[in-house]
A and B are shown apart, each in its own frame.
Chain A
Amino acid sequence: MDFTVQELEQGIAVVRGAGRLNMVSAGQLRELVAAAVAGGNSRIVVDLSAVDFIDSSGLGALVNGLKIARQAGGDLRISAPTDQVKLVLQLTNMERVLFPYPTVDSAYAND
């Protein structure tokens, strides 16, 4: 799975991945988020629009990124999950914690 990181203004970084966010790619995502936060972008959006599969390790990487961003005074938000990802968020109760924003732009629209 390949990730790209795009820096927006106001300390926002968008992390995009395509394919399967699973135990193999989770470590990569974790490192990218940590690097972005360390580089001064503590407001992260993980764009899930091209992620067609996520497992618990993938969710784990999101939670880990959330913690890193929060401790730097920022946040991690997710946007545009596909159906499989939505289902997993529901089944694991993760949607109680992470609200899926419809688009990347809407993630920090109000904050």
Chain B
Amino acid sequence: MNRLLILRVIVIVTVVFGVNYVAWRWMFSLNWHAWWIAVPLVIAETYSLIDVSLFGLAMWRSRPRELPKTVPLGTTVDVFITTYDEPIDLVMITARHARDIRYPHSTWLLDDGARPELAAAAAELGVGYIKRGADWMNRPLHAKAGNLNNALMSTNGELLLILDADQVPQPEILDNTLGYFDDERVALVQTPQLFGNVPISDPLGSQAPLFYGPIQQGKDGWNAAFFCGSNAILRREALMQLGITGYVAEVERAVDTALRGAHRVIKRARRSVPKSNEMMHAALADVSLAVDAAKASIASGESLSGVTYRLQRRVAEVSQGMVAADVQLLAQDLRAIEEMNGGGADSDFTINIDATMEALGSRDLSPLGAVESVQTLLRSIDVDRSGEAQPLMPLATISVTEDMATSMRLHGLGWKSVYHHELLAVGLAPEDLGTMLKQRLRWAQGTMQVLIRENPLVQRGMTLAQRLMYFSTMWSYLSGFATIVYFAAPIVFLCFGVLPVNTSAWHFFLHFLPFMVANQVLFAFACRGVSTWRGQQYSLALFPVWIEATTSAVANVFFGRPLSFIVTSKVRGAYRPQWTLITPQIIVSVALTLAAVIGVTRLALGVGEPIGTAVNLAWVALDLVVLSVLVPAVRYRGFDNKQEE
């Protein structure tokens, strides 16, 4: 308790000093003559203040939970292991440990690679095997979310433990976590993700002790612990409820959109059909009337299934009518031919009018299909979500990181989540920089997709604190832009002598140092002695990744560009240092070094200002130390067990 009190005092002090500094920067020390660097810098500083304030809000309630005292008996649990292309041996190690989890459960391999060898291995081990069915053909697969949604429909455990293919669970993973579900409003228990194939020095910054620790505990304090995709237990009822409410919302939206755009589509179709085709014009007029009737019924509050059923029936009748007319003409022609041939003898031409009509009038062959836009429109005015493999999609499919979006929706429905701070599964981290960068990019892109599609700040159902907890993680991924400014400012000063801050050195330090010191104290205290230096280095050094994530997510959501989704590879490739992966960081390092040389030269020539130069040289030195993390990262050859022992 005392610890939390001290932490809160540090949070308050940090935020007060921070506001004091940034307000002074905006109001009294902005160098408007050099606005092109001064304004970006003060915006970057404001960004950082908001970032640390949100961190402080999480720390406000960051403490270990009380452990559940009992293990409920008789709860049914499905253990899901999701896999796509991981080596069979690796998946089977996880499967064996999953099967041997102590609490009674069923184990399932969810194989998105549909590999017969894996199916055979699963059968031999005595665990279940699930792959996508025919419904998923030619429909969006939704990656891991789709894989899990598919499995949800063919299993029935009350709880689900979700494991990535490389996360090997401990036997007690369920015993130690199921007690939380005695509270019927708990939908999610997340446990930490830690990696066993990472040396102490952690050259790729794989471990996330700050996130799987103080941050998740802080979010948990506000009932906002996130789902992180693996090593988590979820309540089926909560997920299915998400599926149901999502289904209703999606159907309402689709029907509403289609009906609103209907007349425009029909009008355009009428213009494209030649005047001579009277039958088609009559049919389109009928469809138009049916659409009006549907609109009126929905406005009067009738259920969507009733309205769409009648509309679809009416459309089918219209189609049948057109087919009937066509078939009658065809039959007449055939009869004429038969008569010309002498009649009767050759009955090959006779057709079964009823069967032909039924076949031609079916949904897919309807003559209205000739007007494709109308066909598409009519199909979307239904309740079967025919564009998706299954009507219910419990795990969110709006983002490549389905986990965060899903837990946000669960919180929106009023469910509770728990962060259980105990290592209960050990995973494998990427072992080369290229793979690591792709993985970080994917996480960041997914997070930005959620921010753009379902901005937590405007989601109903969550408390303000919950919204801020989600927003906080998204906000931190915007840091790439601020980092660029932090690199540019000292370069500008050292090369051109332009100071973005218009003040005396004394006043600057008076405002800046207290904030800086409080900030560092806050991090050090919050992290309880666990080093987060590696994490801090990477959050700055990977600025090109964060920027690419933001821009590609914007391009994806608003302009439909693909994200170039890549599943993180767990296989080590042939080693060869790939310096090109960090070209932007190398350019920045060279620029910083040159700027330092120029700054010292200017000082020696008597042009430079001594205190400003000293401060900016220190700043450059810090930047270079931060970026230096990438050198061992590029040269890293993967984890070697023997070396470690």
- Are A96 and B252 interface neighbours, CB within 8 A? yes
B245 at the interface (CB under 8 A from A): yes
- Chain B nearest CB from A18 CB (Å) reads 19
Q: Which of A23, A71, A92 contacts B244 (CB 8 A)?
A: A92
- Chain A nearest CB from B502 CB (Å) reads 57
Are A63 and B236 CB-contacts (below 8 A) given A27-B156, A96-B303? no
Q: Which of B244, B249, B303, B363 contacts A99 (CB 8 A)?
A: B303
Q: Which of A56, A77, A111 contacts B313 (CB 8 A)?
A: A111
Are A97 and B243 CB-contacts (below 8 A) given A63-B392, A73-B316? no
Q: Which of B156, B236, B243, B309 contacts A111 (CB 8 A)?
A: B309
A21 at the interface (CB under 8 A from B): no
Closest to B239 in A: A56
- Are A56 and B240 interface neighbours, CB within 8 A? yes
B241, B251, B385: which has the most chain A beta carbons within 10 Å? B241
- Are B237 and A94 interface neighbours, CB within 8 A? no
B248 at the interface (CB under 8 A from A): yes
CA gap between A98 and B237 in the complex, in Å: 20
Q: Mark A8-29, 1 if CB is under 8 A from B, else 0.
A: 0000000000000001101100
Interfacial chain A residues near B390, Cβ < 8 Å: 64, 67
Q: Which of A56, A64, A66 contacts B305 (CB 8 A)?
A: A66
Query: What range describes how many residues of A lie at the interface?
Result: 20 to 34
B158 at the interface (CB under 8 A from A): yes
CB-CB contacts below 8 Å: A71-97 with B:
71, 73, 75-77, 92-97
CA gap between A26 and B363 in the complex, in Å: 29
A95, A96, A99: which has the most chain B beta carbons within 10 Å? A96
CA gap between A63 and B393 in the complex, in Å: 12
Interfacial chain B residues near A71, Cβ < 8 Å: 384, 386
B530 at the interface (CB under 8 A from A): no
Q: Which of A23, A59, A70 contacts B156 (CB 8 A)?
A: A23
Q: Which of B240, B245, B304, B384 contacts A57 (CB 8 A)?
A: B240
Q: Which of B236, B310, B383, B392 contacts A97 (CB 8 A)?
A: B383
Sample 9 A-B pairs with CB under 8 A, ordered by A number. A24-B156, A27-B156, A57-B236, A67-B385, A71-B386, A92-B245, A94-B248, A95-B303, A99-B305
B contact set with A: CB distance below 8 Å: 153-154, 156-158, 236-237, 240-241, 243-245, 247-249, 251-252, 302-306, 309-310, 312-313, 316, 362-363, 382-386, 390-392
